[in-house]
Amino acid sequence: MKRKLWIITPVALVIICLGMMFWFNDEPDLFDPVEFAKQHAGVHGHADVTGTTTTSALLEVVNVMLNKRGGYMSNDIMPPWVFLDNVPNWEFGALTQVRDLARVMRNDFSRSQTQSSEDPDLSQADPLFHYSSDRWFPPDTEGRYEKGMESLESYLTRLADPALPNAQFYARADNLVAWLGLVEKRLGSLSQRLSASVGQERLNTDLSGDTAATQSTAAPGEVDVKTSWFEIDDVFYETRGSTWALIHFLQAMEVDFYDVLRKKNALISYRQIIRELESTQEPLHAPMVLNGDQFGAFANHSLVMANYISRANAAIMDLRFLLTQG
């Protein structure tokens, strides 16, 4: 009897572990940041002021990242969480967008000019979100990010209080252009890494466009670029997390920057970017991320994702030009 228990117990533990892995390997659904901002205003008494929708969206993205099914997994060292890598990569993608927006809010959105003082709450939140994403030993990652959320809550409360004019959110075209420029670089990098799933020989264009440009060390004229087969699913899920967060931020900023976009006749272009990014969130109807040849018999999910990212990135380039010159 004891011998049977010794056999059954490990088997049962493995089955339980596999079941939990299947249950926790889940990406959160999209939420409506505008509706959430209205609910947030009702609970906390925030008025419908410029900047509250974007700040509320940033708060909720962090909240979902920390409290989704299975919790925050990037710093877990115990089974079954330690065996999962899709969701941690998804978390890192979302976190990258959170960090970028938090820094732009600190440096641009909340300041009227370069010589103005930075907001005290945002100056605390920004470095907290840049804390190591995989630290489990105190001070742990979740604790730091929760403190960052507290600072954002404080900023949001001050932002809506007419008696505290020192908290501001400046919805100007140049501020939106600054953030979109950062988004453009992130999406460009993701697109290149996804496209390299099949391997390419690319001409080195690092110094193109400037005859006086130099670089630290010499580089070959042709570069062989390929994302490892072992890493391609990591890049795929990092992209899913990054675009998931970005969709919410764009939807929220449409509210806060509505007058700017309407004046520049850029609303349709802006909404098309969101539509392209929403395509990246379609369910994956396969047990794994497939990495077939370009025109082979099997699908290449990375190239499909790269297509959506590239289209959105091209639209962002056009939008930035429109906001600057339009």
Question: Is residue 264 pLDDT above 90, yes or no?
Answer: yes
Over residues 70-84, mean pLDDT: 77
pLDDT, tens digit, 9 for 90 and up, residues 130-176: 999 988 888 899 999 999 999 999 999 999 888 888 899 999 999 99
Q: Is residue 18 in a domain?
A: no
Q: Is residue 211 in a domain?
A: no
| Phi, psi (deg, nearest 5) at residue 166 | -80, -10
Share of the chain above pLDDT 90, in %: 54
Residue 101 structure tokens: 């927006």
Q: Is residue 137 in a domain?
A: yes
DSSP letters of 271-290? HHHHHHHHGGGS---SSS--
- Give the pLDDT confidence score for residue 197 in this predicted structure: 76
> How many domains does the chain fold into?
1
Longest dimension (CA), the chain: 81
CA distances from 138 to 75, 129, 135, 142, 265 (A): 11, 16, 8, 10, 50
pLDDT, tens digit, 9 for 90 and up, residues 90-146: 999 999 999 999 999 999 999 987 778 899 999 999 999 999 998 888 889 999 999
Band of pLDDT at residue 293, cut at 50, 70 and 90: low
Number of neighbours of residue 187 by Cβ within 10 angstroms: 23
Nearest of 75, 84, 94, 82 to residue 23 by alpha carbon: 84
- Which domain, by its residues, includes 117? 30-199+224-325
- Give the pLDDT confidence score for residue 79 in this predicted structure: 73
